[in-house]
Amino acid sequence: MNFELARFNMIEQQIRPWDVLDQAVLQLLATVKREDFVPLAYKQVAFTDMEIPLQTGSKNGLSMLAPKVEARMLQDLAIHKHEKVLEIGTGSGYMAALLAHKAQRVISLEINEAQAQTARANLQKAGIHNCEVRVADGSKVDLSVDGPFDVIVLSGSVASVPDSLKALLKPGGRLAAIVGNEPVMCATFITKAADGSNVTTQPWDTLAPRLLGFADTPKFNF
């Protein structure tokens, strides 16, 4: 398989049409080798517009987000090189690698210990040294010692963003998550204003697998 051609086609046919036009982001997608972060069984579809399961035969729900979703979130967060980033849901480590290239430091939390080990190995192979992968449930862990953060990224969907995560943002900090329930979810960006209030925008719609550990919306029985 010609990975470079597949990467080029992913950027030109999936990423750009999704209004990802930031040249720095596009260059990063061309540089970080996505195929090195997918399981061997899925390497041939590493650049396909789909979520890729991370543990073959497992029903744990772990998967990589579609490339266009990762790219759009990265662009819209506008991360600067001096910033500290928290990611919830390391998965394969691919999004963590992209974040690490943009930021000064990344702390990435993965609820599944085996997957965290895989992500660490992937990041080391990619030469990423400013990202720390921890085994933790991002919905419950106390990060007050590590925070506050300039940027928080939830690499998966949630029914709602916990107040505990919003509280970890610095003034001017941004949080990105995919919020809602199938069939309607929205990319949700929360910015902490100087007065401590939160400003929320939902500029585009998408779907993503649920992040493990986060509470779901209660279902009503009629």
Confidence of residue 1 (pLDDT cuts 50, 70, 90): confident
Asked whether residue 104 carries a pLDDT value surpassing 80, the answer given is: yes
For residue 61, the model assigns a pLDDT of 64
Task: State percent of the chain over pLDDT 70.
Answer: 95
Asked whether residue 177 carries a pLDDT value surpassing 80, the answer given is: yes
Cα gap 200→213, rounded to integer Å = 23
Residue 200, in any domain of the structure: yes
Per-chain mean pLDDT for the chain: 93
For residue 90, the model assigns a pLDDT of 97
Beta-sheet strands, E only, within 61-197: 63-64, 84-88, 105-110, 131-135, 149-158, 169-181, 184-192
Residue 50, in any domain of the structure: yes
Give every CB contact of residue 5 below 8 A, 6+ residues apart in sequence.
none
Residue 127, in any domain of the structure: yes
For residue 218, the model assigns a pLDDT of 54
* Tally of domains within the chain: 1
Residue 140, in any domain of the structure: yes
What confidence tens digit (pLDDT) does each residue in 88-100 have? 999 999 999 999 9
Q: Which two tokens stand for residue 112?
A: 């599944």
Cα gap 83→105, rounded to integer Å = 7
Annotated active-site residue 63? The verdict is: yes
Domain that includes residue 118, residue range: 3-206
Q: What is this structure's pTM?
A: 0.93
Residue 86, in any domain of the structure: yes
What confidence tens digit (pLDDT) does each residue in 29-85 have? 999 999 999 999 999 999 999 999 987 654 456 889 999 999 999 999 999 999 999
CATH no. for residue 116? 3.40.50.150
Asked whether residue 219 carries a pLDDT value surpassing 70, the answer given is: no
Task: State percent of the chain over pLDDT 90.
Answer: 88
Q: Which two tokens stand for residue 115?
A: 């997957």
Asked whether residue 213 carries a pLDDT value surpassing 90, the answer given is: no
Q: How many residues does the chain have?
A: 222
Phi then psi dihedrals of residue 123, to 5 deg = -65, -40
For residue 125, the model assigns a pLDDT of 97
Cα gap 119→125, rounded to integer Å = 10
Residue 218, in any domain of the structure: no
Residue 216, in any domain of the structure: no
Catalytic option among 63, 139, 155, 157? 63
What confidence tens digit (pLDDT) does each residue in 122-156 have? 999 999 999 999 999 999 989 999 999 999 999 99
For residue 222, the model assigns a pLDDT of 45
Residue 213, in any domain of the structure: no
